[in-house]
Copies of this chain bind each other. A is one copy, B any other.
Amino acid sequence: MTISVDMFFLRPDAQGTLQMQIRQFVAEGILAGRFPPGARLPSSRRLAAHLGVSRITVAQAYADLVADDYLSARGRSGFYVSENAPRPHEIDPPPAAVRETVDWARLLGPRTPSSLRRGKPRNWRDFRYPFVYGQADPTLFDQQNWRACLLMASGARDFHAMTDDRYEEDDPLLVEYIARHTLPRRGILARPEEILLTLGAQNALWLAATTLLADPRRCAAIEEPGYPALRDILRQLRCRVLPVATGAEGLSPGAVPRGVDVLFCTPSHHCPTGATMPLLARRQSLEAAEAGDCLIVEDDYEFEIAEGRAPLPALKSLDTAGRVIHVGSFSKSLFPGLRLGFLVGPAPFIAAARDLRATVLRHPPGLIQRAAAHFLSLGHYDALLRRIQRAFRERREVMLRAVAEHGLQPAGETAPGGSSLWMRAPEGTDTEALARRLREASVLIEPGRPFFGTPQAPGHYYRIAYSSIPAERIPEGIARIAAALRAG
């Protein structure tokens, strides 16, 4: 059998080089049973002409397939599907249509979907003015050096770092770098046994909450407004949750009720307003925690992209009573799809969180850990941070000017730092409806309601981020928000 050249085509939406596409097409044909063992492939000349690619491209794809024993070369007579090629597995006939015999609604109870996605369309990149929060910007990220670090981390020297089942352990290179370089910048000194790597800040908060609040009689306090994903975590745990109102200086220590076991807060950069807790309030929080036998989980999710004012020391760095658990993340400084963050806390707590993590997922992928360790230790990370800081400062200035020009009202911190502004629309505005209308004008904003825990939450707040929009588009985007509010 000779396989007709007409069976070959390149898909217009295909990924990878032409050579890879040809390789993939042949391999798939063999695995699907369309190209049986012994069948002869079209000559590279004929296939190249048919596909409109160079002959060397086809020849290289064929050579590659010979190396993996999909094809065999027989001197001048050409290429054949190898007798040793992977066989299509015999597939049993599909089962008879499945009868529904399980009452899933009763078994699983009412569904509590995560609030992460709320108000965030999948296709945000198709919008011209995407004031979306927390995604990476390809114009700022250092792809070239990141790829070089991936190559290092997947090379022969790092083979075991990438492939090993580490059970409950982390990559010692990354832990050491965080201990020696990342944490000292926040004033934190920690030994390796006081550090646990996590799948991003989400996983760090989940591990901390589950370790400390598994007993439903225990009580957590959270900021109001505050981080919606934290509220999801605590709802899942079914522990008691008390909201603490926050103001222009973030959470006020005096507002934390008695009897709280764990206080969750974002002192460096309150989510979502951007407020910074002053030094005095930090000290008071620590004193109150000790007096009330309370622990504090400090979510320091955004500190590394702050620039322009001297960062205040982390709460953890002021903690002489061993009561603060610190959450860090590389989601904003590298990219969120990396899923890499960390917990810093007293060794007995970290050991318990490590046992829990081992049961839930073992450890973050070795490749991710080692590539990050290289990227950090080679200094690419600091160079990237400076690039992000400069770009964000510029975008923030452009945005604040446009906001002022159009008479829009910031509702939170306007001093430098962070990647977003928290805004207040005129009272009575429904910013969820506003966001829907703005989509028609190719503008994405984030309605503020999900940041509040109560059903009576005010509906007139919204967040606009500048982490994924170029500076030159910001003025027009802000103008459109202003126009939509006027038309409102």
Contacts and interface: CB of A to CB of B under 8 A. Distances in A.
A70 interface: yes
A185 B88 CA distance: 8
B136 A383 contact: no
Contact of A167 (B117, B199, B293, B348): B117
Contacts of A321: 98-99, 101-102
Contacts of A95: 187, 189, 317-320
A292 to B, nearest CB: 11
A98 B151 CA distance: 41
Contact of A86 (B84, B295, B383): B383
Interface stretch (A266-274, A354-362, A431-439): A354-362
A358 B116 contact: yes
A156 B138 CA distance: 8
Contacts of A322: 98-102
A147 B155 contact: yes
Interface stretch (A1-9, A22-30, A417-425, A457-465): A22-30
A361 B189 CA distance: 27
A293 B102 CA distance: 8
A206 B322 CA distance: 31
A141 interface: yes
A181 B143 contact: no
A52 interface: no
A364 interface: yes
B136 A337 contact: no
Interface string A144-157: 00110011101111
B187 A92 contact: yes
B165 A206 contact: no
A125 B165 CA distance: 13
Contacts of A185: 89, 91
26 contacts: A23-B378, A23-B379, A24-B379, A27-B378, A30-B379, A68-B379, A70-B383, A89-B184, A90-B310, A92-B313, A99-B322, A101-B290, A101-B321, A101-B322, A102-B293, A108-B348, A116-B358, A117-B168, A150-B150, A163-B337, A164-B337, A165-B337, A199-B365, A206-B360, A339-B363, A339-B365
